[in-house]
Amino acid sequence: MGLCKIIVVDDEYLLRQGILHMLDWGKYGFSIVGEATNSIQALELIEKEQPHIILCDIVMPNIDGIELSKIVKKRYPEIEIVILSGYDNFDYVKTAFKHGVADYVLKPTLTAKQLLNILLPLQKKFVQTIKVVDSKEDVKKKLLTMLDSKQMDDKLIKAQFREQEFTLIGYKPCNEGSIDIKTTNEKINKSFNQNFIMYIGEWENVHVFILNHCCEDRIEINRKWDELTRYIEANIIDVFLMKIYRIKSAKSLAKAYDEMKNLSKYYFYGYKYKYIRISLDQIKEKHIHIFDNKKFIQKASSKEPITALEFLEQYLSELTFDNGVMSNELKAIVQNAIYNFINIINIKEENLEKVNTNKILFFNNISNANTLEHVKKYYYEIVIYIKEELLHNSCSYSKMMKQIVSFIDNNYKDQINLQQIANEFHISYSYLSAYFNNHHNEGFNDYLNSVRIEKAKEFLVDQTIQISYVSELVGYSSPGYFTKVFKRTLGITPSNYRRMYMK
């Protein structure tokens, strides 16, 4: 087991030195890991060193020992605090113990034995507490898992958070790599350092802090929030800040965390401010506008494929932060739609390399888009390019499809199928399928059968050819299936057709 870590906080240099050299600290299982002259330095040192015990002067400038103890116990409830004072004052003692101080000693009469008598019992507590302190990262991981799954562990929540209310603070960089994450986290920690605050990590570039406090602290937290937003604006820090408050239970904490993800899309959808705050009880269920990809494919496969692009453009124009999907999901919708559209319309082979180059550029632009307006801009650019390609290719479409129909007419006797023809002419299966449905008013199989039956009628006129062989000549391996298709098409069997023709 490691040494019990101690920090000494006192504005008197000689007293700090006296404590440092008062004992052979390592011999008794202790280590002085740092010293501070005031409470501000102390809070920075505590964040860095994560001590188990703090020896703290009661009288210091700005933030005194009592106020520091209050802050520390809220942020780090597992840390034990021993107050040092230059004089005996019962009111100070009573106030100190009220805020969770472990003990209180007078500096003028302080001895090594007296200090050990106070610290050793606290060290025993440390044996049980060290696992909680040293596993802080594990606690964060467990919290994230619970919040994502909405399966909250009440015991873990109670062990980590002592106050009855929570506030979630989050931020998302507006541009990739535009800010220093470490510096931003330190600023947020410092802004709310009078309360227990824990950075629990990030989800899709949304960084989240849990603030635990009593309801009486709301006014002060709001003031600190306002200071933080003014600081962000004044220093032109490129982040979108979010705050959800009045979270009053572990179950509500999971709901708020889920809503924090939704708030992160406000900036993407053009919210006019760089920050947003909302009470959990004000959050209402949102009705997300879902893109109909099936309808898009149908339009792209029709005689007027341009209507598919107009359909997607209309969808983009209807999105807001109240009905829009998450930014990454929207980017995927647009990218997949363009990918499918280009495959369906069948770009001429000599232009394919150029089109693919532009497609990759478009995909990269969409991936890097920070707002809906950027997505629309890049979408309009690719649409203009695609329309030009459609115009250039329109004359070649009918010629190519005539070649395909001619191929079927000449190869009907072989075991051909739609995929083989698509491969033969270097076009997509989906486009070829849609073409027959929209331009022949029948599917590929129906068209192929109609060609084969017409050829079969010609062979049936010659009575020297057996019906089973006619079946083989027109591409059917099974005479029974040939008879079934023939009757379904003409209403009579091949043998009856032959007899009828002979009459």
Encode pLDDT of 324-361 as tens digits: 888 888 999 999 998 888 877 766 666 667 777 888 88
Q: What is the pLDDT of residues 237-247, one digit of tens each?
A: 788 899 999 99
d(CA 142, CA 133): 14
Class of domain 137-282: alpha beta
Helical ranges in 235-271 per DSSP H? 250-263
Give the Cα-Cα-Cα angle 83, 85, 86 (nearest 5 degrees): 165
Query: Which stretch of DSSP H or E encloses residue 56?
Result: strand 53-57
- Greatest mean pLDDT among 26-35, 276-285, 448-457 lies in 448-457
Beta-carbon contacts of residue 305 (< 8 Å; ≥ 6 apart): 299, 341, 344, 345, 390
161-218 pLDDT, tens digit per residue, is 878 899 999 998 887 666 888 888 889 988 898 788 888 888 778 899 999 988 888 9
CATH superfamily to which 4-134 belongs? Response regulator (3.40.50.2300)
- Cα dihedral: 464, 468, 472, 475 (round 10): 120
Nearest partner of 363 among 325, 391, 334, 326, judged by Cα: 334
> Where does the pLDDT of residue 362 fall: very low under 50, low under 70, confident under 90, or very high at 90 and above?
confident
Which residues on neighbouring strands pair with residue 34, listed in sequence order? 7
| Cα 476 to Cα 474: distance, rounded to the nearest angstrom | 6
- Per CATH, the homologous superfamily of domain 408-502 is Homeodomain-like (1.10.10.60)
More confident residue, 223 or 354: 223
Q: What does the alpha-carbon distance between residue 130 and residue 169 come to, in Å, rounded to a whole number?
A: 28
Sign of CA dihedral 67, 70, 75, 76: positive
Q: Supply φ then ψ for residue 177, to 5 degrees.
A: 75, 15
Would the pLDDT of 120 be above 50?
A: yes
Find the mean pLDDT for residues 68-92: 81
**pLDDT greater than 50 at residue 129:** no
CA gap 382, 312 in Å, rounded = 13
Q: Which residues partner with 197 through β-bridges?
A: 211
pLDDT category of residue 391 using cuts at 50, 70 and 90: low
